[in-house]
Amino acid sequence: MKKIVCLILLLGSFATLSAQTFTAEMKRAGMMWYFADYQNADQARKIKVVGDINGDDIRVLRQLAGGKYGKELDEPDRGCLEELDLSEARIVAGGGAYWFGGLFPESHISRIMPERAMTYTEDDVVGGKMFEGCVRLKRLVLPLECNAVNSYFSNTPLNYVQLPQKVGEVHLSIFNEIIQNKQLQTVACPSPEPPEVANDNQDSKTYDCDLLVPVGSKEKYAAATGWKDFRSITEYDFAATVDEFEAGDMTYRVTGETTVELINFETTPVQMVIPEKVEHRDRFYTVEGIANQSQGVKIPNTTSVELPNSIRYIGKTSFYMATELQSINFPEGLREIGARAFEYCRKLEKVELPDGIKFIGCNAFADCWNLKSLRLPADLEVVGSCAFDGTAIEIVELPATLRQIGGYAFFCNNLKTVVCHVEEPILLLGDRGRRTESEGHEFSDFNTKYIDLYVPDESVALYKEAPVWKEMKIHPMSEYVPTAVEELPASGVEPADRSSAVFTTGGVQVLEPQRGLNIVKEANEPARKVLVP
């Protein structure tokens, strides 16, 4: 039951995210807000959307690309979206309006002429105003299945636009402004037959812009009205836009001019080493991440994995059911761990996640039965549902930056102590009215009342009133001294080499004090707490 609940809570599938790239797999239209609010899509410069999208999704994408809901409406500036790939998306009717053109949403004019005030999505149509005013958007790939493009691109700094494959008629005047401003450099048209060009504006002739057409179609476009007026016409293999290659026993996909991601590693070495750089076609690429993997056992005999410092993301199910895996390093540059990435890695006993990771996906370490030692990043913001469900951890330290904990995230029957640095209690699943009597919550139903919860001294009263949190035994942080640290040696080396050792509140030894509460144990002295602001 709880696994089903976790999947419902996910609301969509997380793919890869780095500082530049994010893929949103839409399980249903209307959920783009979830990726923006809870999976850091608002930090991505490149977004690829797969699945149905409606007016609500378009409004979010416009906002991430610097577009507004309406001319007179002041919305908060968010996002840094520069490249949007909708090739595998489908625009469907539904959701709210993505553009408001009236003076006020509730004005008299809006009521008597709603068609002038609000713009909604239609099935397989790139509607009016859809991408106007997206002041950050530079590259746009429209859905392949669309049959009409009605949006102008005014006040949008596009330099590349790919039209739908099935579009029957094109109004080239939609590009007027960005061509005249010398912004648009390339229009790609993947249709084997030149779409009919509507003769609605003589200024739509695009002499100063390049045209990409399918292989074998150049002569047709060169003779077709409108298309023949492009600056140049070049044949392009649209089916080969993704460059994949093998190096050693691994397969990579090119993600940028100098970067690749690992997409296949179905090998069985006892010790697996992922290189930082690989060579392809006489040039070197940096391995920036591990792409989403299809669910299945890939490395059944591997006991250790070494990741390079260049790795920024680990995609979903990357090491799913690696049942022999005992150790893996998490590099300092890592920012994202996808859903089910280490699920059922039952021999993992210790996980130290570096600062900088902001998102841990659903079921990321679920059912790692022997996982006892856990260090969460100081910058962590989101822990997905069931992330550490079924592990053996006894103590967990939650950083002050944490803002969301998914259902069953710490459903651990051995959990005894929670050290929470968050000043205001996080709204847990039960607070949102989504929990039923048959469902659980973020912490185990069986021992919640036995968990010792340490919170900032000034927040004790707040936690005593907060749902779920109030079920625990609440203590001020000033009273916390972990007994586990008292039993640890003063240092991993001889006292002559180092007279003291530093530990997290979870009992994990670190090289230097971390932000937040630290435990310092000097030789032959009791442990003491040190707070690093």
- 131 vs 517, which has greater pLDDT? 131
307 within domain boundaries: yes
Say if CB 313 and CB 339 are below 8 A apart: no
Q: Could you tell me if 185 and 272 lie in one domain? A: no
244-265 burial by CB neighbour count: b if 16+ within 10 A, else e? eeebeebbbebbeeebbbbbbb
pLDDT higher than 90, residue 444: no
pLDDT attached to residue 155: 80
Question: Domain count of the chain?
Answer: 3
> Could you say which of 191, 208, 240 is where a domain stops?
240
Q: Could you tell me if 236 and 320 lie in one domain? A: no
pLDDT higher than 70, residue 490: no
Task: Output the CA torsion sign for 499, 353, 296, 246.
Answer: negative
Mean pLDDT of 361-372: 94
Please report which confidence band the pLDDT of residue 297 belongs to, taking 50, 70 and 90 as the band edges. low
pLDDT attached to residue 489: 40
Q: Could you tell me if 257 and 389 lie in one domain? A: yes
Mean pLDDT of 386-407: 92
Say if CB 177 and CB 196 are below 8 A apart: no
Please report which confidence band the pLDDT of residue 23 belongs to, taking 50, 70 and 90 as the band edges. confident
For the chain, give the mean pLDDT. 80
Please report which confidence band the pLDDT of residue 446 belongs to, taking 50, 70 and 90 as the band edges. low
Q: Could you tell me if 236 and 256 lie in one domain? A: no
Say if CB 149 and CB 129 are below 8 A apart: no
> Could you say which of 218, 240, 262 is where a domain stops?
240
Please report which confidence band the pLDDT of residue 453 belongs to, taking 50, 70 and 90 as the band edges. very high
pLDDT higher than 60, residue 102: no
Q: Could you tell me if 190 and 85 lie in one domain? A: yes
- 523 vs 6, which has greater pLDDT? 523
Q: How far apart are CA 65 and CA 140, in angstroms?
A: 11
Mean pLDDT of 427-454: 60
Please report which confidence band the pLDDT of residue 329 belongs to, taking 50, 70 and 90 as the band edges. very high
Q: What percent of the chain has pLDDT over 70?
A: 76
Q: How far apart are CA 302 and CA 310, in angstroms?
A: 21
Number of Cβ within 10 Å of residue 200's Cβ equals 11
Q: Could you tell me if 369 and 339 lie in one domain? A: yes
CATH code for position 392: 3.80.10.10
> Could you say which of 361, 389, 415 is where a domain stops?
415
Which spans in 379-419 are helix H? Answer: none
Q: Which residues pair with 260 in a beta bridge?
A: 254, 287
pLDDT attached to residue 33: 86
Mean pLDDT of 40-45: 77
pLDDT higher than 50, residue 332: yes
Please report which confidence band the pLDDT of residue 17 belongs to, taking 50, 70 and 90 as the band edges. very low
Mean pLDDT of 277-299: 83
Q: Could you tell me if 374 and 496 lie in one domain? A: no
Which spans in 268-411 are helix H? Answer: none
pLDDT higher than 60, residue 20: no
pLDDT higher than 50, residue 494: no
**Phi, psi torsion values for 525, nearest 5 degrees:** -125, 150
Beta-sheet pairing, 304-306 with 313-314 = unpaired
Give the tens place of pLDDT for each residue, 247-279: 888 899 888 778 899 988 876 678 999 999 999
Q: Which residues pair with 396 in a beta bridge?
A: 418
This model's pTM is above 0.75? no
Q: How many residues does the chain have?
A: 533
pLDDT attached to residue 236: 83
Please report which confidence band the pLDDT of residue 10 belongs to, taking 50, 70 and 90 as the band edges. very low
- Domain holding 385, by residue range, is 251-415
pLDDT attached to residue 497: 37
Give the tens place of pLDDT for each residue, 144-158: 888 888 878 878 888
Say if CB 30 and CB 57 are below 8 A apart: yes
125 within domain boundaries: yes
pLDDT higher than 90, residue 169: no
Q: Could you tell me if 403 and 487 lie in one domain? A: no
- 321 vs 239, which has greater pLDDT? 321
Q: Could you tell me if 159 and 37 lie in one domain? A: yes
pLDDT attached to residue 113: 47
465 within domain boundaries: no
Task: Output the CA torsion sign for 177, 179, 185, 186.
Answer: positive
Structure tokens at 231: 């600056």
118 within domain boundaries: yes
Q: Could you tell me if 405 and 516 lie in one domain? A: no
pLDDT attached to residue 385: 87
pLDDT higher than 90, residue 178: no
432 within domain boundaries: no
47 within domain boundaries: yes
Q: How far apart are CA 265 and CA 113, in angstroms?
A: 58
256 within domain boundaries: yes
Which H/E stretch holds residue 504? strand 500-504
Number of Cβ within 10 Å of residue 152's Cβ equals 20
Q: For residue 206, give the nearest of 223, 189, 182 by alpha carbon.
A: 182
Q: What percent of the chain has pLDDT over 90?
A: 35
Q: Where are the beta strands (DSSP E) in 153-214?
A: 160-162, 169-170, 186-188, 196-197, 210-214
Least confident of 66-75, 296-305, 410-419, 447-456: 66-75
Q: How far apart are CA 412 and CA 398, in angstroms?
A: 15
Mean pLDDT of 92-107: 72
163 within domain boundaries: yes
Least confident of 189-203, 229-243, 422-436: 422-436
Please report which confidence band the pLDDT of residue 122 belongs to, taking 50, 70 and 90 as the band edges. very high
Q: Could you tell me if 401 and 277 lie in one domain? A: yes
Q: Could you tell me if 188 and 268 lie in one domain? A: no
Distances in whole angstroms, Cα of residue 475 to Cα of each of 308, 412, 472, 480: 41, 20, 9, 8
Structure tokens at 341: 């990435």
Give the tens place of pLDDT for each residue, 223-243: 988 888 888 899 887 775 557
Give the tens place of pLDDT for each residue, 373-393: 999 999 999 898 899 999 999
pLDDT attached to residue 140: 93
For the chain, first and last CA: distance in Å?
41
Least confident of 15-19, 396-400, 514-518: 15-19
pLDDT higher than 60, residue 192: yes
pLDDT attached to residue 499: 57
Structure tokens at 79: 């996002």
Least confident of 145-154, 291-300, 301-310, 454-463: 291-300
- 6 vs 206, which has greater pLDDT? 206
